[in-house]
A and B are shown apart, each in its own frame.
Chain A
Amino acid sequence: MFEIGGKKLKSRLFVGTGKLPDYSLIEKMYYEAGIEVFAVAVRRIGPNTKHTKNVLEYIPKGATIMVNTSGAQDHKEAVKIAMIGRELTDSDWVKVEIEKDTKYLFPDSFETLKACEILVKEGFKVFPYIYPDLNLAKELEQIGVEAVMPLGSPIGTNKGIGCEVLLKPIINEIKIPVIIDAGIGRPSHAAQAMEMGADAVLINTAIATSADPLKMAIAFAKAVEAGRLAFEVGLLKEYEYAQASSPLEDFISG
Chain B
Amino acid sequence: MTFEYAPAPESRAVVDIAPSYGLFIDGEFADAAGGKVFKTVSPANEEVLSEVAQASAEDVDRAVKAARKAFEKWSALPGAERAKYLFRIARLIQERSRELAVLESLDNGKPIRESRDSDLPLVAAHFFYYAGWADKLGHAGYGADPKPLGVAGQVIPWNFPLLMLAWKIAPALACGNTVVLKPAETTPLSALFFADICRQAGLPKGVVNILTGDGSTGAELVAHPDVNKVAFTGSTEVGKAIARTVAGTDKKLTLELGGKAANIVFDDAPIDQAVEGIVNGIFFNQGHVCCAGSRLLVQESVQDELLEALKRRMSTLRVGDPLDKNTDIGAINSAEQLARIKELADAGESEGAERWAPACELPDAGYWFAPTLFTGVTQAHRIAQEEIFGPVLSVLTFRTPEEAVAKANNTPYGLSAGVWTEKGSRILWMANKLRAGIVWSNTFNKFDPASPFGGYKESGFGREGGRHGLEAYLDV
Co-assembled chains A and B? no
B interface residues (Cβ-Cβ under 8 A, vs A): none
A interface residues (Cβ-Cβ under 8 A, vs B): none
